[in-house]
Amino acid sequence: MTSPHPEPGPPAAPAAADSHGSSLLARIDDPCDVRSLAPEEVPRLCEEVRGFLLDTVQATGGHLGSNLGVVELTVALHRVFDFRRDRLVFDVSHQAYPHKVLTGRKDRFATLRRTDGLCGFTHPDESEYDLFHTGHAGTSVSLGLGLATALAREADAPHVVSVIGDASLGAGVAFEALNHAGATQARLLVVLNDNEWSISKSVGSLSRYLSRIRTSRLVQRAGQETRSLIEALPLIGRRASKAFDDLGEVMRHAFVPGHVFEELGVRYVGPVDGHDVALLEETLRRVRELEGVVLLHVLTEKGKGHPDGPSHPERVHAVKGGKSSALKIEKVPAKLEVPKPVVPKSSTLDRPSAESATSFTKVFADALIDLAERDVRVHAMTAAMPSGTGLDTFAERFPTRFHDTGICEQHAVAMAAGMAKAGLRPVAAIYSTFLQRGYDQVFQEVALQDLPVTFALDRAGPVGQDGPTHNGVFDIAYLRTLPNFVLAAPRDATDVRRLLDLAMRVDHPFALRFPRANVVQREVLPEGERRSLDVGTAEVLREGEAATIWAYGAMVGVALDAAQALAGRGIEVGVVDARFAKPLDEDLLARHLRSHRYVLTLEDHQRAGGFGSAVLEAASRVPELDTPLARIKVLGIPDRYLVHMTTREEQLVAAGIDGASVERVLTGLLRPVPR
Ligand SMILES: Cc1ncc(C[n+]2csc(CCOP(=O)(O)OP(=O)(O)O)c2C)c(N)n1
C-alpha cells in the first residue's frame, strides 16, 4: 500500500466507508497502513487479524491462544506509537504473531515455524520491527529499561514499550527489573497483558493479587465508568503527572486498585478491557504522555475467538496444526540447501508407529508416579510446565507432593535444595534450556552442598520448530563442570525407569536428559540381559573391529542405525551406550582406545564442552603403551545456533549428526588408504 506515512497522533479523519466489503488486512503492509485507517475501520481490522490467525495457525501449528488475545492491543500499539522510532519489546515473544501480521509478514505466515520459514518468536533478521530474538520469559522489562536508559540521552527520546504476560511478570527477573525501574527516572511503558493464564492456570500470590484487582467491586464500578476515568487522565507531560498525583484518593483507588506497583515507584493504570480497541488506543495515547515508569494493566482473554478458548485456554496455548487453511501452505523457498533427513529402510530399532508412539516425557512421568508410590520422599517440581513435563498426571495423583513455582526456575532449584536438605527426594522436571535460568542455584544451592536433587531435563537436544531459544543443547557443558554431579541419559524407556530409580539411590545431584521425541518401540536388549546400571558404567551394544561409536542418550538409536547400514556394506563398527557423561566409564574407554583405530562420539548437544569433550579429556589421561591410541572424532552440534526447522530430525541432518551423516563420516574414515 502506498499510503502516506502518518505519524502517530490523533486518530486519522474517518475515511470513506469501505462499501465493497473488501479486506482491510489485504491493504496492511506496514504499521503506517494501520495508522491510516479510520477509527471506525479498526475493529474490523482486528476481526480480520483474528480470523487470519485462526485460519493460518491452526494449519501451521504454533502459539495460538495468547496471540488471539492480544490482537486489539497490538493494533492499538501500532496506531499510537511508531516503532520505526519508538521501541517495542515482547516478553517471551510467543504473542508477537499479530505484530508480525501487521509488520509486512502476513504473506509468509504459511511458513510459520517451518524450515526456512517465519520464526515463532520475534527475530531481528526478519524485520526491523523485531528488536530481539527471545523465547525465555521475564526479560522484557529489563530490556525495555536498558533501551529507555540509553535512549533517554537523545533529544525528544523515543518511547519504549514492553509487553509482558501476567505469568511472566512473576518471573524473578521481571520483579528485579520493576524493582530497579521504579527507582529510576526512566520513561518506560510496561503493558501487562493479563489473561489469567500461563500455559496452565497462572499460579502464585501475584496472580491472586491481579485476580483480586479484576474482581474488586471498586474496579468493577470504575470499569463501568472507565472511559470517563481514562478521559480524566490529563494529557501533557510533567503537568500530567502532577495532575495525576492530584487526582485525589478516590480517583487513585479507581486507577490504583492496589498499591503494590505504586509502592515500587511504578505508576499503575488500569485495568483496561483489552478487547475494546478504541479504549485501548485512547488509554495508550494518554499514558504515552506520562513521565516515569507506567504499568498499564490490560485484561485479555486467552484464545479469544477460538471455540475452545473460553473453556480450555490451555488447549489453545499452542496448537499442533494440520487443519486445512484458506492459505496455501507453500513449499518454503530454500535459502540454504538443507538435505532431507534420510530414514534408513531397515532400522535396528523399530520406530514407533504414530498411533502407538510414546514420548520420553510420558515414560518419565509414569515412572515418576511409580517411584512416588514406593517412596514417600519423592516430590515433583515444575517451573510453570506441568503439562509440558508430563507432571500434570503426578499432580492429580499426589497433589501435596507436587509443586509448581511458576516461571521461576531459580527459585524452583533452590527450593528443591531446601527440600533435599530436609530429607526429601525432589525431582525437578525442567526443560534443558530453561534450567539455564537456575544455573547459579544449581551450582551453589545444589552442587556445592552435594544435595540429592534430581533434574529431569526434558527437551534436551534440538527441538525443531521453537528453534535456538528452546534447543536444549548446552546442559551437558554447563553441568559437567560442577563437581558432585552425576550426568546420565537414557537410550530408551527401560533406561528412563532404571536411571530414575538409580537417581533415588545416589546421594548426589543427578541429571537425566532426554529429548522431545518418542522412545523406540523394540528395545535393543531386554531388561534382564542389560549390564547392571552402576554409576559410570557404559554398555556395549555392538562389537566392531576398527571403529566404535560412543553414543549418548537418544543418539544411541542413530548410532545403531548407522552401524547397521554400514554392516549391510560389509563394514562392522561397534556401538557403545555411554549412559553417563559424568562419571564416564573410563576403563571401557581406555580399552577401546587401545583396541580400535577410531572412536567416534555422538551427541545431540553442542560439541563445545559436551559429551565428546568429556571423552577427549578422559582420553588425555589414558597412558599410551606400545600401540598408539585410537583417534577420536567428536560428532555433535557445531559452534553455531541451530535455527528452527520443521522437525528435530531435520536439525540433526543440518548439524551432521543423523544416521546418514554418521555413516558417511565412518565410511570416509575406514576407506582403504590407496598405496
Ligand atoms: C524461563 C522460561 N520458562 C518457561 C517458559 C515456558 N513458557 C512459555 S510461554 C509461558 C507462559 C507465559 O504466560 P504469560 O506470560 O502469562 O503469557 P501468555 O502466554 O498467557 O500470554 C511459559 C511458562 C519460558 N518461555 N521461559
Amino acid at 169: L
- Split at pLDDT 50, 70, 90, the class of 207 is confident
Torsion of CA 391, 394, 399, 400, to 10 degrees: -90
Distance 93 CA to ligand 1 centre (A): 9
Q: Are 430 and 383 in contact (CB under 8 A)?
A: yes
591 is catalytic: no
CB 198 near ligand 1, within 6 Å: yes
CA 315–ligand 1 middle distance (angstroms): 14
174 lines ligand 1 (CB under 6 A): no
pLDDT at residue 379, as a whole number: 98
At residue 35, does pLDDT exceed 80?
A: yes
What's the gap in Å between 198 CA and the centre of ligand 1? 6
Distance from the first to the final alpha carbon of the chain? 68
Least confident of 263-277, 302-316, 559-573, 657-671: 302-316
User: Which member of 187, 437, 607, 648 is catalytic?
Assistant: 437
- For helices 205-215 and 217-224, the axis angle rounded to 10 degrees is 50
Q: What is the dihedral of CA 588, 591, 596, 601, to 10 degrees?
A: 30
Give the model confidence (pLDDT) of 131-189 as tens digits.
999 999 999 999 999 999 999 988 899 999 999 999 999 999 999 999 999 999 899 99
428: left (phi over 0), alpha (psi -120 to 50) or beta: beta
Residue 115 · residue 331 · CB < 8 Å = no
Would the pLDDT of 673 be above 80? no
Nearest to 272 by CA among 291, 299, 245, 295: 299
pLDDT at 1: 35
Average pLDDT over residues 252-279: 81
What is the band of 83 on the pLDDT scale with cuts at 50, 70, 90? Answer: very high
Reply yes or no on whether the pLDDT at 11 is more than 60: no
Beta-carbon contacts of residue 262 (< 8 Å; ≥ 6 apart): 256, 268
Distances (CA, A) of 629 to 275, 597, 619, 626: 68, 7, 9, 9
| Amino acid identity, position 618 | A
Residue 493: per-residue pLDDT: 97
437 is catalytic: yes
pLDDT at 226 over 60: no
**Contact (CB, 8 A) for 464 and 651:** yes
Q: Is 136 in the pocket of ligand 1 (CB under 6 A)?
A: yes
Q: What is the pTM of this model?
A: 0.90
Per-residue pLDDT band at 406 (split at 50, 70, 90) = very high
pLDDT tens string 500-551: 999 999 999 999 999 999 999 889 999 999 989 999 999 999 999 889 999 9
* Ligand 1 center from residue 421 Cα (angstroms): 30
Among residues 281, 301, 314, 409, the one annotated as catalytic is 409
CA-to-CA distance for 405 and 391, rounded, in angstroms? 13
Pocket perturbation via mutation, ligand 1, pick of 133, 198, 300, 319 by most ligand atoms within 8 A of CB: 198
Buried b (16+ CB within 10 A) or exposed e, 290-300: bbbbbbbbbbb
- Residue 235 confidence class, pLDDT cut points 50, 70, 90: very low
- Of the listed ranges 20-24, 190-194, 487-491, the one predicted with least confidence: 20-24
Residue in 199, 301, 315, 392 to alter for ligand 1 test, most ligand atoms within 8 A of Cβ = 199
**Per-residue pLDDT tens for 105-129?**
999 999 999 999 999 999 999 999 9
pLDDT given for residue 309 in this prediction: 77
Q: Which residues contact 239 (CB under 8 A, 6 or more apart)?
A: none
Q: Mean pLDDT over residues 477-485, rounded?
A: 98
Q: Is 434 in the pocket of ligand 1 (CB under 6 A)?
A: yes
Q: Is the pLDDT of residue 435 over 90?
A: yes
**Measured in angstroms, how far is the CA atom of residue 318 from the centroid of ligand 1?**
11
Q: Which atom of ligand 1 is nearest to the CA of 69?
A: 21
Determine the Cα–Cα distance for residues 163 and 84; give it in Å rounded to an integer.
17
Question: Residue 5: what pLDDT?
Answer: 43
* Distance (Å, whole) CA 217 – CA 211: 12
Q: What is the pLDDT of residue 672?
A: 73
**Region 473-481: what's the mean pLDDT?**
98
Instruction: Choose between 342 and 436: higher pLDDT.
Output: 436
Q: What is the pLDDT of residue 212?
A: 84
Convert the pLDDT of each residue in 607-646 to its tens digit. 999 999 999 999 999 987 778 899 999 999 999 999 999 9
- pLDDT band at 227; cut points 50, 70, 90: low
- Please count the other Cβ atoms lying within 10 Å of the Cβ belonging to residue 250: 9
Residue 400 has pLDDT above 90, yes or no: yes
The pLDDT mean for the chain works out to 88
452-463 tens-digit pLDDT: 999 999 999 999
404 lines ligand 1 (CB under 6 A): no
